[in-house]
Amino acid sequence: MLKFNKKGGANSIHTTDSTKLLTASSTFAVKEAYNSIRTNLLFTQQGEKCPIFVVTSPTANNGKTINSANLAINFAQMGKKTLVIDADMRNPSLHKLFSLSSRNGLSEILAGLTDNITVTKTDIENLSVLTSGKIPPNPTELLSSPRMDKLLDFVKEHYDCVFIDTPPVNIVTDATVFSQKATGYVIIVKTDTTNVPELKTTVSTLQGINANILGFILNDANSEKKKYYSYYRKYSRNYSYNYKYSYGNDKK
């Protein structure tokens, strides 16, 4: 039987990655970009008590992890009790952003090594993190297991919204296992990194499993890259998806 084991706030380990997190001192443009995305995501809930948003990308280095964290922070800032789960068990990094230990996390729960769901409260009010745990040999099998279903059902009873950071769709199939378990997918693409054929492959893969694609976030966008911005906006419009963007920048 699953049960909660809640820890206190983050420790004092310093990480340069934490400077990328959304804070009160972030620029107005960045905060408004995330506010706009939040507004659009709230309209996708369809009356759900606790929506589950899966964040992924076509390939690596698109900025999915920092956006997973910042979307969760943004929801927590409006008073929603929020959980962000690191389901990228092949290359976990959420624990680095929040200066946490990755041990005793998702992989241990899914492998049946523990029934304690060890979530850690961050220094950000209303925001908790479930880290990845030890890197397992079979991430896809664990994520598609009945224990994952039980975990999601369990956390939905304790939170107002859940964000799941997953591996890139075009590299491994881990993210696709949530197609029937989540409210929908947010796809992160990055200026000068993601190309349209890669994005088409991602969309085709998710459509093939009847996943609900909620929209795209164009990462690392700025006024000097308007041509590139239009390039993705045109593509997203052709597929009738919501299109929003942010200015986060990280390597995943």
Q: Quick check: is 14 in a domain?
A: no
The CATH number of whichever domain residue 225 belongs to comes to: 3.40.50.300
Q: Quick check: is 1 in a domain?
A: no
Is the separation of the CB atoms in 163 and 37 below 8 Å? no
HSE at residue 17, side-chain half, CA atoms within 13 A, is 18
Cα–Cα distance measured from residue 104 to residue 35, given in angstroms and rounded to the nearest whole number: 33
Number of domains in the chain: 1
Domain range enclosing 66: 25-245
Cα–Cα distance measured from residue 71 to residue 187, given in angstroms and rounded to the nearest whole number: 12
pLDDT of residue 164: 98
H-run or E-run covering 4: strand 3-7
Q: Quick check: is 233 in a domain?
A: yes
Q: Quick check: is 37 in a domain?
A: yes
pLDDT tens for each residue of 190-234: 887 888 889 889 999 999 999 999 988 888 766 455 544 444 554
Cα–Cα distance measured from residue 7 to residue 47, given in angstroms and rounded to the nearest whole number: 30
Q: Which is nearest to 186 in space by CA: 45, 67, 34?
A: 67
Q: Quick check: is 241 in a domain?
A: yes
Q: Quick check: is 11 in a domain?
A: no
Q: Quick check: is 4 in a domain?
A: no
Look at the pTM and tell me if it is higher than 0.75.
Answer: yes
Q: Quick check: is 93 in a domain?
A: yes
140-151: average pLDDT = 96
Is the separation of the CB atoms in 128 and 82 below 8 Å? yes
pLDDT tens for each residue of 40-49: 899 887 788 9
